[in-house]
Amino acid sequence: MLTEQYVPKLANFKYACTTKARTILFDDLVKIVHWLAPEKMFNKDVRYDVKCEIFSFGMLLWELTFEKVPYQELEPMEVENYVKGGKREKITFGHVINERELEIQKLLEKVIKEAWQQNPEDRILLINLFNELGRLQSKYKNVQELSLLPQKTLDLVGSAKSEISDVNILPDCKDLVFDLEIETAISFDEGIKAHNSEKYEEAWKCFKYHSENGNLYAKYWKGYYLMNGIYIKKNIEESARLFKETADKDEEREEFIKYLIMSADGGNEIAQFNIGKAYLNKKLNLDDEKKGINYLKLAALQNHTGAIELLEEKKIEFIKP
């Protein structure tokens, strides 16, 4: 909710869900059905996760943009059937007066549509959502050049006539100051750089964050940290689960292997060990023993313990560091 001073506040705590929790059953569920993710409509026992929140955020962004509750003309059961059928609110903007407005409208439409995809896996990743909105905010960060307009002034749906068409004669709101900052994790590539610089705490937080938001490579690195107890306490069971999850993603396997090979060819001893081991053991649809041995030898030259032990176990000669 927003206060009269336009300060965002959390409300309705009794309706909140923790991550992975089941939807609370209460008589007035109808109060949130307008923002509810379709998977929760199909099955109330589906675990609540970040994908559900992304869908709800997309609906909220639509509401803030068009200044009305989603599906306000429909009854609760009609809303549920409408959303379960893959239908959504219309996104129809009014006339724009410059390229800036057009770019903002296109970006908002893109984010909203990617957030409310029917399939949870097709929805925009949280970090990408932040980056998209952050990029727009950075480009047009001088928001005080335009004062806040009265509610219903903007013709976002093209059905109303704005009383103000000249941005130079907008009323002043001297007491209104926007100072908004969204704290986000560093990018995945910056996390890799942090690891290579032995900034393990920074790297761990990065991998953990991006892993929880669906980044396959981050899951791999999170598993590696858990397996070796880097910064965090060892958890072999969770590490194995993450490694299996990355290997089981058939549609992303080719890209994952490509990334590993690029990292290995770039001199990363961890990637060299893992891609070498995969080649040697014919994992990830890779079968080239010679390549595998070469990668393991490169990793061993950088004193990678796992590579050294595996080469010794296979009785393969190599140059010790």
Mean pLDDT of the chain: 75
Give strand pairing partners of 8. 2
Give Cα separations from 299 to 110, 210, 227, 255, 266 (angstroms): 43, 26, 18, 22, 12
End-to-end CA, the chain? 61
State the pLDDT confidence band at 185, using cuts at 50, 70 and 90. Answer: low
Most confident among 66-70, 135-139, 172-176, 283-287 (mean pLDDT): 66-70
Give Cα separations from 131 to 125, 177, 187, 239 (angstroms): 10, 23, 10, 28
State the pLDDT confidence band at 188, using cuts at 50, 70 and 90. Answer: confident
Question: Tokens 């397996």 appear where?
Answer: 227
If you average pLDDT over residues 26-33, what whole number do you get? 64
DSSP letters spanning 131-142: HHHHHHHHHT--
| Length of the chain in terms of residues written | 321
pLDDT of amino acid 154? 54
Return phi, psi of residue 2, to 5°.
Answer: -115, 135
Tell me, what DSSP letter sits at residue 180? -
Q: Name the residue with higher pLDDT: 242 or 8.
A: 242
Q: How far apart (Å, rounded) are the C-alpha atoms in residues 273 and 295?
A: 6
Tens-place pLDDT, residues 193-204: 898 888 999 999
Judge whether residue 298 has pLDDT over 80: yes
Tell me, what DSSP letter sits at residue 232? S
Question: Tokens 């549920």 appear where?
Answer: 80
Under 8 Å between Cβ of 209 and 127: yes
Residue 108, H or E segment:
helix 99-115
Instruction: Name the nearest CA neighbour of 54 among 36, 67, 68, 66.
Output: 36
State the pLDDT confidence band at 181, using cuts at 50, 70 and 90. Answer: very low
CA-CA-CA-CA torsion sign (34, 37, 42, 46): negative
Judge whether residue 213 has pLDDT over 90: no
